[in-house]
Structure 1
């Protein structure tokens, strides 16, 4: 199938700059889903709109960190209408996603202590719309396990670059049939929620291993100094449920 017959989307990137957009277009992508850490939805939307163009659709999303720092379970929600904070219970986050009719994706299942488990995915089979079966941060054993889980519960698959670094964008992506007519965030949400057929494409050569090494190096930094900086030096997170932006709506389901 040629590029013109597909809608190619990197379903999860953390960074958004001119270089990211250039990289995505050069990789033949039609869209990227932008879901940075600890950033409220209005800011994500504004930045996504700024970088969207006729060449590349940038779709805003939130990867919500449910649970505490020790037992985080990341869930990717596309198509949110209202703000959802981090550090609330998994049950509360899933209920809010359902209320808003968002597309709910499970990134990097069972990866370290930051992911939905097999048990979680069994429990939320009617809420989660797709499971990531390939992630550049994963080692081969992690990707095999992700494929096993998706197959076990018959989840539609997806992949993404999960790019925390600009050079990672586009190394893996999900391709939908162009006949679906995906032209907007709403169209993508519909395709995901309805389980539309798709192809999962990723690089398995030298570039893949180089990408894995760089992204794992970034992960080590992210979970060392950056975590200390966020926990002890910056004060309350912008996406903390007790932040004034949430008007106390999530105080009763906050884990802190």
Structure 2
């Protein structure tokens, strides 16, 4: 990692391959945080290690889906040492993330039915390290609401491309005022509330890419959901999966 006076990180992406890495570098990013849906932590680590190099740090993370499909709420965790399953209650998930000393971020707060609410932020503010105040899938009023929540609860802000599509990489990023060389450095910066800027692109190309990301929600919440619920069997991140060795028995 090239040392510098700042560090630009896209704090939440769902896609990762050679083209994603090329685009991230072309857009001047220093790091990506890779948190694919329903993928176990060792697999996320493996892919992150595979695509990290001296010019781009890829940090493994988990966007934990707490609750069931109807009441699910997303929490983004960096710095995990042990796997945490999806579908466990929010309180149990937050306690486990706290036990592991993870950096806990709130993506897209109060967005549709998949996000932490204001009351959730109030209940868990001591365990939350940052709130996403700009997300390309948001409409303007969602971003305004997110900024108010960050301010109201005194929680630092962050942003990301939330890229489910390669072309969205680098549309928004968080820029820290210090150089960060490792995953541990980034986790510490988030947990310490390090000074940062929320930065996004603008113009018609940005708006088109935002619209494409929002349209992707239709696929996520139609065919993909049906496939996962009825066709694919148990998720690899389900708490009853053998990979969790009965650690979460009685929680789900």
TM-score (norm 1): 0.96
* 1:185 and 2:183 are equivalent in the alignment: yes
Hey, what does 2:243 align to over in structure 1? 245
Hey, what does 2:226 align to over in structure 1? 228
1-structure distance, mates of 2:210, 2:249: 38
1-structure distance, mates of 2:90, 2:206: 32
* 1:129 and 2:111 are equivalent in the alignment: no
Query: For each residue in 1:121-176, what CA deviation from the matched residue of structure 2 results, as whole angstroms up to 9, or x when unmatched?
Result: 01111000000000000000100000010010111000000000011010000001
CA drift of 1:182 comes to 1.1
* Partner SS, residue 48 of structure 1: helix
Hey, what does 1:80 align to over in structure 2? 80
Query: For each residue in 1:65-119, what CA deviation from the matched residue of structure 2 results, as whole angstroms up to 9, or x when unmatched?
Result: 0001111100000000000000000001000000000000000000000000000
2-structure distance, mates of 1:246, 1:65: 16
Q: How many residues align?
A: 250
Hey, what does 2:217 align to over in structure 1? 219
Hey, what does 1:59 align to over in structure 2? 59
* Partner SS, residue 116 of structure 2: coil
Aligned runs of 1:1-256 on 2, under 5 Å? 4-178=4-178, 181-254=179-252
* Partner SS, residue 32 of structure 1: strand
2-structure distance, mates of 1:209, 1:7: 25
2-structure distance, mates of 1:4, 1:78: 23
TM-score (norm 2): 0.98
2-structure distance, mates of 1:137, 1:207: 14
Structure 1: gaps of 5 or more residues:
none
CA drift of 1:211 comes to 1.3
1-structure distance, mates of 2:119, 2:39: 28
* Partner SS, residue 125 of structure 1: helix
Q: Which moved more, 1:201-210 or 1:95-104?
A: 201-210
Answer whether contact 2:65 2:87 (CA < 8 A) is retained: yes
* Partner SS, residue 250 of structure 2: helix
Give structure 1 regions of 4+ aligned residues with deviation exceeding 4 angstroms: none
* Partner SS, residue 251 of structure 1: coil
Q: Which moved more, 1:76-85 or 1:181-190?
A: 181-190
* Partner SS, residue 132 of structure 2: strand
